[in-house]
Amino acid sequence: MLSSGKPDIPAPLTNLKIQYTKIFINNEWHSSVSGKKFPVLNPATEEIICHVEEGDKEDVDKAVKAARQAFQIGSPWRTMDASERARLLFKLADLIERDRLLLATMEAMNAGKIFSNAYLMDVSACIRALQYCAGWADKIQGLTIPADGNIFTYTRHEPIGVCGQIIPWNFPLIMLIGKIAPALSCGNTVVVKPAEQTPLTALHVASLIKEAGFPPGVVNIVPGYGPTAGAAISSHMDVDKVAFTGSTEVGKIIKEAAGKSNLKRVTLELGGKSPCIVFADADLDSAVEHAHQGVFFHQGQCCVAASRLYVEESIYDEFVRRSVERAKKYVLGNPLTGGVNQGPQIDKEQHDKILDLIESGKKEGAKLECGGGPWGNKGYFVQPTVFSNVRDDMRIAKEEIFGPVQQIMKFKSLDDVIKRANNTHYGLAAGIFTTDLNKAITVSSALQAGTVWVNCYLMGSSQSPFGGFKMSGNGREMGEYGLYEYTEVKTVKMKISQKNS
Amino acid sequence: MLRAAATLGPSLGRRLLSAAATQAVPAPNQQPEIFYNKIFIDNEWHDAVSKKTFPTVNPATGEVICQVAEGDKALETLDNGKPYVISYLVDLDMVLKCLRYYAGWADKYHGKTIPIDGDFFSYTRHEPVGVCGQIIPWNFPLLMQAWKLGPALATGNVVVMKVAEQTPLTALYVANLIKEAGFPPGVVNIVPGFGPTAGAAVASHEDVDKVAFTGSTEIGRLIQVAAGSSNLKRVTLELGGKSPNIIMSDADMDWAVEQAHFALFFNQGQCCCAGSRTFVQEDVYNEFVERSVARAKSRVVGNPFDSKTEQGPQVDETQFKKILGYINSGKQEGAKLLCGGGPAADRGYYIQPTVFGDVQDGMTIAKEEIFGPVMQILKFKTIEEVVGRANNSSYGLAAAVFTKDLDKANYLSQALQAGTVWVNCYDVFGAQSPFGGYKMSGSGRELGEYGLQAYTEVKTVTVKIPQKNS
């Protein structure tokens, strides 16, 4: 991946001032109803960056009220031209571009993200997603339908209403924009709960939302914890839809809460244990590199991490050798420092969980090829770790690690590897490396995964839908498909004196 | 935008103009420098191969503005005469919205993967058609350019555009912006010139994959013939109209009068979709006529740079003479001239806002497209009768109905043979909604998602696979 300190990007801001630490409702900044605040940490140093107002149920209630008000028939947001919604989204994209350096610095510091990636990739992805969704706003078309009878029938594709959106900490900016852009494009209003580990860039974006000119109440952001603020959203009787990205464990809780409360619509983007299958006829160098990036990118903290690597027997040893060599090329350290290309894990909980799984790998008999423990005196660092001779029944082969730990397994036959790849409750993504046309089409058809990459990995784009099979999630985000999740279809049937085709 | 203009109410023209009188519209530069008057090819400016130039004329004064390179086989208020305030608030606004709308489509015009029978993987690619010749008219020079470039470029085509000889200047200015914006050389090429030479060259070129033309039905036929005789290039046409505007007796009278006036007189009557047959139900006919005449008499004709002006000159001498000819035919064939009826000034191509009453379907002014500020008002009894009469035309571009009754609105909008039917409004356009003609008003649709189809060539790819699974 990109190493920091590229000559053509500016240095991160020093002495970054965190301006926005409150709850954002109705385009205004509020203290928490309870008076409580919570600390926000820098995972590379374990130091507190600042304190942020801690939202709970009462704050969520305020935000939902504001969002509901902004959604009323006759409101500025509901009566606005769709093309004007588009213009506001484009404006937000422009403001994010303007504040690229600030946002990249803040994201790198708060989320432990390599600065050059944050600057070049994360911020750019946000801008493109906003521009893509802006383009859809006045193209969300209903149908006129030749229904039976003397009836003029058409559909309206209406916004659903107040959408609760719960965002994770691994890509705070991208995840925020990926949620609000399609929701706003379709005309909804939103109440966002950013992850408690990483609220800062979301709050800065809130200030840009106000600056761009979105009417008050359209976007509301309530930082806080899952069991309090998050639960308040998923069980709220006046939230029409909840969208969640995070662990499968919490996804289940959200779906239950939705069912118990008001049957709000639910979309979930959850965990994965995505298989990468490398056939003997693959371009070996390319497969090694893609598979490596697939599991190590952002310290392994990607829902689509290629965390089960199935390599065909005849190339297995060479593949392991090259993968281990590749995994040793990391400079760990503060992600704001030039030359560093691996940052910390997000927090102590993740750090401990990863180390526990690494230990289980050793205990259950996988071969530790490199790494295998923590790094450094402070910060939540884990050495890049590679296991070979992994068996499918080991914990490291079944559970999502979410850390810089690669599992390499051996396979013989195509039918067998497909079965093994699909033998999981997860189904988020998969990768196939082969030069053979038939294998590419056959295997991609057979894998139970929402995204299948062929001869590449991690390639995302706003135009393509993304989401999970099975317990990796419900629904799809981005692309045209993503709009359906933010639309409520109304059929209108108007009696007429005579129908003509 | 036109819709914004239409929703302003009875004194629509005056409200727009008072917006100009405040800070909303900056003062015009009445003598702008003309920087771009050559042929734009490969992001560079060229003289005509023949070295010929032609004059472009200011229709308000009859004087030549400058010479423009005349492309041969070898490619706004000053040029066209429309009131500056409208140009600024309406034309430009619609241009920007059209381009932004189509920019949004660029990465969204999806092909499909298709569950075909057999062990095959089948999908479609939506490819650009290729080299698109685009011949645009003089009535909305900038807007017509945007309507053509938007969908063509969004879908990945390259363009050779022949702009109207009467109004090349703004298109050439935009050509420079295209270069500045960063489009690669050769993607947009603009050739000013005349129809029978440059236009015909485009329509019959063996290496142009598609031609899009907006203009008269007469020329549209020539273009389609040329396409067939040459390389069967794909053709879309936006042609003339004689659009019926039907006023039912239950219509909101004030609103209907103002809208019907706007429908005919907007842009000096130079709209393909002008509401040039105003059918008024007999119960309200007399009052409607009286109010329409009063409104036409109050229409302010004058220098298009003057912010009080509602109506500028016609675009050139040819049009000017043609319209006066139609007015004469109206007088001769027995229509009742209620106001106007002749030129409005000694210099420039100004015509008085003219209203004919008691017009019969058989009269020339009721059948042929005048393209000038001449309103025809006809009487009808029943809704069934007016449908027949409204559809009795080889044109079919637009239509409108003014009524409060839900059933009548639905009945008429189904029955009218027109590409756009307006209900209780007129000339409402949006980049989002398709526009085009039935019958001899054209073929194909522009704008909206539909507008992408004409600029797309669909390729089906079918790949044999070992086993198909759903």
Contact A419, A253 (CB under 8 A): no
Q: Which chain B residues are Cβ-neighbours of A138 within 8 angstroms?
A: 101, 104, 430-432
Residue among B39, B112, B42, B101 at smallest CA distance from B73: B39
Kindly report the backbone phi and psi dihedral angles of residue A216, in degrees, each rounded to the nearest multiple of 5, phi listed first.
-60, 140
Residue whose token pair is 């009487």: B379
pLDDT of A7 reads: 60
Q: Which chain B residues are Cβ-neighbours of A462 within 8 angstroms?
A: 107
Q: Do B108 and A437 touch (CB under 8 A)?
A: no
* Cβ-Cβ contacts under 8 Å for A476 (sequence gap 6 or more): A450, A465, A466, A467, A482, A485
Among the partner residues A83, A134, A494, nearest to B97 by beta-carbon distance: A83
Compute the C-alpha angle B162/B164/B165, nearest 5°: 110
The confidence band for B71, taking pLDDT boundaries of 50, 70 and 90, is low
Residue B6 pLDDT greater than 70, yes or no: no
Residue A351 pLDDT greater than 90, yes or no: yes
Kindly report the backbone phi and psi dihedral angles of residue A283, in degrees, each rounded to the nearest multiple of 5, phi listed first.
-70, 110
Q: Do B465 and A442 touch (CB under 8 A)?
A: yes
Residue A190 pLDDT greater than 60, yes or no: yes
Q: Which chain A residues are Cβ-neighbours of B97 within 8 angstroms?
A: 83
Cα B32 to Cα B35, B65, B77, distances in angstroms:
9, 10, 10
Residue B387 pLDDT greater than 70, yes or no: yes
CA dihedral B283, B287, B289, B290 (to 10 degrees): 160
pLDDT of B462 reads: 92
Residue A128 pLDDT greater than 80, yes or no: yes
Q: Which chain B residues are Cβ-neighbours of A135 within 8 angstroms?
A: 103-108
Beta bridge partners of B462: B122
With pLDDT > 70 as the criterion, what percentage of chain B qualifies?
Answer: 94
Q: Distance, in angstroms, between B32 CA and closest chain A CA?
A: 30
Region B384-394 average pLDDT: 97
Residue among A212, A238, A235, A208 at smallest CA distance from A221: A208
Beta bridge partners of A244: A166, A268
Contact A223, A202 (CB under 8 A): yes
State the Cα–Cα distance between residues B172 and B165, nearest whole angstrom. 12
Residue among A458, A411, A424 at smallest CA distance from A282: A411
Please say whether the dihedral angle defined by the alpha carbons of residues B222, B225, B227 and B229, taken in this order, is positive or negative: negative
Q: Which chain B residues are Cβ-neighbours of A136 within 8 angstroms?
A: 104, 108
The confidence band for B49, taking pLDDT boundaries of 50, 70 and 90, is confident
Q: What proportions of chain A, in percent to the nearest 5, are helix, strand and coil?
A: 40, 20, 40
- Lowest mean pLDDT segment, chosen from A59-73, A151-165, B35-49, B383-397: B35-49
Residue whose token pair is 């025809």: B376
State the Cα–Cα distance between residues B285 and B381, nearest whole angstrom. 10
Contact B135, B162 (CB under 8 A): yes
Nearest CA in chain B to A437: B465
Q: Which chain B residues are Cβ-neighbours of A442 within 8 angstroms?
A: 465-467
State the Cα–Cα distance between residues B88 and B104, nearest whole angstrom. 24
- Amino acid letter, A130: L
Residue B80 pLDDT greater than 90, yes or no: no
Structure tokens at A480: 């045209």
Region B130-158 average pLDDT: 97
Region B393-403 average pLDDT: 97
Could you write out the DSSP letters of every residue in B181-248? Answer: HTPPTTSEEEEE--IIIIIHHHHT-TT--EEEEES-HHHHHHHHHHHHHTT--EEEEE-----EEEE-
Nearest CA in chain B to A153: B410
Does residue B331 come out as left (phi exceeding 0), alpha (psi in the -120 to 50 range) or beta? alpha
State the Cα–Cα distance between residues B321 and B351, nearest whole angstrom. 10
Structure tokens at B461: 């790819």
Q: Do A438 and B469 touch (CB under 8 A)?
A: no
Contact B383, B412 (CB under 8 A): yes
Q: Do B100 and A83 touch (CB under 8 A)?
A: yes
pLDDT tens column, B51-65: 888 888 888 888 877
Structure tokens at B276: 């040039």
Structure tokens at B112: 């499909």
**Active site amino acids of B:** 238, 272
Residue B74 pLDDT greater than 50, yes or no: no
The helix (H) or strand (E) run that includes residue A326 is helix A316-327
* Cβ-Cβ contacts under 8 Å for B381 (sequence gap 6 or more): B281, B282
Q: Do A135 and B466 touch (CB under 8 A)?
A: no
Contact A82, A59 (CB under 8 A): no
ipTM confidence score: 0.85
Contact A175, A245 (CB under 8 A): yes
pLDDT of B2 reads: 43
Beta bridge partners of B378: B279
Residue B79 pLDDT greater than 90, yes or no: no
Could you write out the DSSP letters of every residue in A270-282? Answer: -----EEEE-TTS
Structure tokens at B80: 């066209």
Could you write out the DSSP letters of every residue in B314-344? Answer: -SSHHHHHHHHHHHHHHHHTT-EEEE--SBS
Please say whether the dihedral angle defined by the alpha carbons of residues A174, A175, A176 and A181, taken in this order, is positive or negative: positive
Q: Do B121 and A136 touch (CB under 8 A)?
A: no
Is residue A269 annotated as a catalytic residue, yes or no?
yes
The confidence band for A300, taking pLDDT boundaries of 50, 70 and 90, is very high
Q: How many CB atoms lie within 10 A of CB B366?
A: 20
The confidence band for B19, taking pLDDT boundaries of 50, 70 and 90, is very low
The confidence band for A66, taking pLDDT boundaries of 50, 70 and 90, is very high
Q: Which chain A residues are Cβ-neighbours of B467 within 8 angstroms?
A: 442
Contact B295, B264 (CB under 8 A): no
* Cβ-Cβ contacts under 8 Å for A65 (sequence gap 6 or more): A238
Q: How many CA atoms lie within 13 A of A370 on its CB side?
A: 17
Residue of A87, A127, A138 to mutate, testing the B interface (most B Cβ within 10 Å of its Cβ): A138
Question: Which entry of A54, A107, A196, A269 is annotated as an active-site residue?
Answer: A269
pLDDT of B15 reads: 47
Region B91-106 average pLDDT: 95
**Coil vs helix vs strand at A71:** coil
pLDDT tens column, B259-313: 999 999 999 999 999 999 999 999 999 999 999 999 999 999 999 888 899 999 9
Q: Do B432 and A438 touch (CB under 8 A)?
A: no
pLDDT of A86 reads: 98
Residue A5 pLDDT greater than 90, yes or no: no
Q: Which chain B residues are Cβ-neighbours of A86 within 8 angstroms?
A: 100, 104
Nearest CA in chain B to A480: B108
pLDDT tens column, A353-412: 999 999 999 999 999 999 999 999 999 999 999 999 999 999 999 999 999 999 999 999
Residue among B461, B453, B459 at smallest CA distance from B210: B453
pLDDT tens column, A433-446: 999 999 999 999 99
Region B414-423 average pLDDT: 96
Residue whose token pair is 């936006």: B238
Q: What is the mean pLDDT of chain A?
A: 96
Structure tokens at B169: 């200047």
Q: How many CB atoms lie within 10 A of CB A145?
A: 13
b/e A217-241 (16+ beta carbons within 10 angstroms → b): bbbbbbbbebebbbbbbbbbeebbb
SS3 assignment for A181-225: HHHHHCCCEEEEECCCCCCHHHHHHHHHHHHHCCCCCCEEECCEC
- Amino acid letter, A62: K
Kindly report the backbone phi and psi dihedral angles of residue A265, in degrees, each rounded to the nearest multiple of 5, phi listed first.
-70, 145
State the Cα–Cα distance between residues B399 and A443, nearest whole angstrom. 55
Region B452-466 average pLDDT: 94
Region B97-118 average pLDDT: 95
pLDDT of A312 reads: 98
Q: Where are the beta strands (DSSP E) in A227-334?
A: 241-245, 265-269, 275-278, 308-312
**Coil vs helix vs strand at B68:** strand
Describe the crossing of helices A82-98 and A200-212 by its angle, rounded to 10 degrees: 130
Cα A390 to Cα A386, A415, A431, A443, B223, distances in angstroms:
10, 19, 18, 22, 70
pLDDT of A2 reads: 46
Q: Do A139 and B107 touch (CB under 8 A)?
A: no
The confidence band for B141, taking pLDDT boundaries of 50, 70 and 90, is very high
The residues of A whose Cβ lies within 8 A of any Cβ of B are 82-83, 86-87, 132, 134-139, 141, 152, 437-438, 441-442, 445-446, 462-463, 480, 494, 496-500
pLDDT of A6 reads: 52
Does residue A59 come out as left (phi exceeding 0), alpha (psi in the -120 to 50 range) or beta? alpha
Among the partner residues A134, A135, A438, nearest to B465 by beta-carbon distance: A438
Q: Do A135 and B411 touch (CB under 8 A)?
A: no
Residue of A87, A442, A483, A496 to mutate, testing the B interface (most B Cβ within 10 Å of its Cβ): A496
State the Cα–Cα distance between residues A264 and A246, nearest whole angstrom. 18
Residue of B93, B406, B410 to mutate, testing the A interface (most A Cβ within 10 Å of its Cβ): B410
State the Cα–Cα distance between residues B156 and B188, nearest whole angstrom. 11
Region B33-46 average pLDDT: 87
Among the partner residues B107, B410, B430, nearest to A496 by beta-carbon distance: B410
